[in-house]
Amino acid sequence: MNDPFPLSWDSRTYIMGILNLTPDSFSGDGLLQNADPIEAALAQAHQFVSDGAHILDIGGESTRPGAKQVSASEEIDRILPVVQKLITEFPGIILSIDTYKSEVAEVALSAGASWINDVWGLRADPAMPQVIARHKAPVILMHNRAVPNSTEIRSRLGGHYVGVKYADLLGEVKAELMDSVAIAKASDIPDKNIILDPGIGFGKTVAQNLMLLNHLDEICALGFPVLLGASRKSFIGYTLDLPPKERLEGSAAANAVGILRGANILRVHDVKQAARLARMVDAILHADN
């Protein structure tokens, strides 16, 4: 496996490009819609790396509101050929696997993937922490209160969460993220291998997502690197009344605020634009250094 953490958190914002090996991604970029998904994924990966991606995040199951679960074997069938190809094509790139299933993580890490991006923060599969620890892999721990019956889906704008209750949004998100950190530590995953994700769009209303993004610095204050995944999310669509493919400017605004609040990684669909935005914001923030 490549060096899992060839990153310097204080020097720049890193860009993670999204490779959706699904037929039903909320953003309309599911690669299984192509006649040859593997070749489509390779082409997209080449473009992403050329455009400035430092990390490629490969997912075989859609996590959009209302999406159907797939089996671990089907998820493996979707992602493994792409992982194997990308390791050969891009020996220096960080390959992150977007999965909450330990079987998928085991196969992907054994094949040479670098990170696991667990949208359930190690709370969905009790075997996941041991797999990650055994491979000495970094893990992204995301906050998630997604409940299927709390979603509302509109054909033009997609799904979003309604009626999600928090007595103290920021306090509860922070506490639940630290619960995931505790699970990781109990399996001997070291602090240096932990990244936090506040879970924008996962079990939060539009207003809650906006508030969480505006106070992202409180998540950063927990002492771990932070990933922001706001790209094309429904809170942008419902704020601007725009479908997923018209959310570039809204995504850029969210990402700029995220960097200003301390985000270290941006998980994005539009890599070129996000990479340029990050370089500019970083230049401004580091101008006095």
pLDDT at residue 4 greater than cutoff 80: no
The alpha-carbon radius of gyration of the chain (Å, integer) is 17
Residue 275: the pLDDT is 98
CA 18 vs CA 56, 92, 164, 213: distances in Å? 6, 17, 27, 20
Which contiguous run of DSSP H or E holds residue 95?
Answer: strand 94-98
pLDDT at residue 2 greater than cutoff 60: no
Average pLDDT, the chain: 90
Q: How far apart are CA 219 and CA 263, in angstroms?
A: 9
Q: Which of 64, 123, 204, 267 is catalytic?
A: 267
Strands (E), 162-258: 194-197, 227-228
Q: How far apart are CA 98 and CA 234, in angstroms?
A: 19
Q: Which of 123, 232, 233, 247 is catalytic?
A: 233
Instruction: Return the CATH fold of 14-285.
Output: TIM Barrel (3.20.20)
> Residue range 64-69: average pLDDT?
69
Tell me the per-residue pLDDT of 175-199, one tens digit each, with 9 for 90 and over.
Answer: 999 999 999 999 999 999 999 999 9
Q: How far apart are CA 213 and CA 218, in angstroms?
A: 10
Residue 233 annotated as catalytic? yes
pLDDT at residue 211 greater than cutoff 50: yes
> Residue range 5-29: average pLDDT?
79
Tell me the per-residue pLDDT of 239-286, one tens digit each, with 9 for 90 and over.
Answer: 999 999 999 999 999 999 999 999 999 999 999 999 999 999 999 999
Residue 69: the pLDDT is 83
Q: Using alpha carbons, select from 11, 16, 90 the residue that is nearest to residue 275.
A: 16
Which contiguous run of DSSP H or E holds residue 202?
Answer: none
Q: Please give the model's pTM, rounded to 2 decimal places.
A: 0.91
pLDDT at residue 50 greater than cutoff 50: yes
Tell me the per-residue pLDDT of 146-181, one tens digit each, with 9 for 90 and over.
Answer: 875 556 665 566 666 666 789 999 999 999 999 999
Residue 36: the pLDDT is 82
Return the minimum-mean-pLDDT range out of 103-107, 120-124, 143-147. 143-147
Highest mean pLDDT out of 33-42, 59-68, 91-100? 91-100
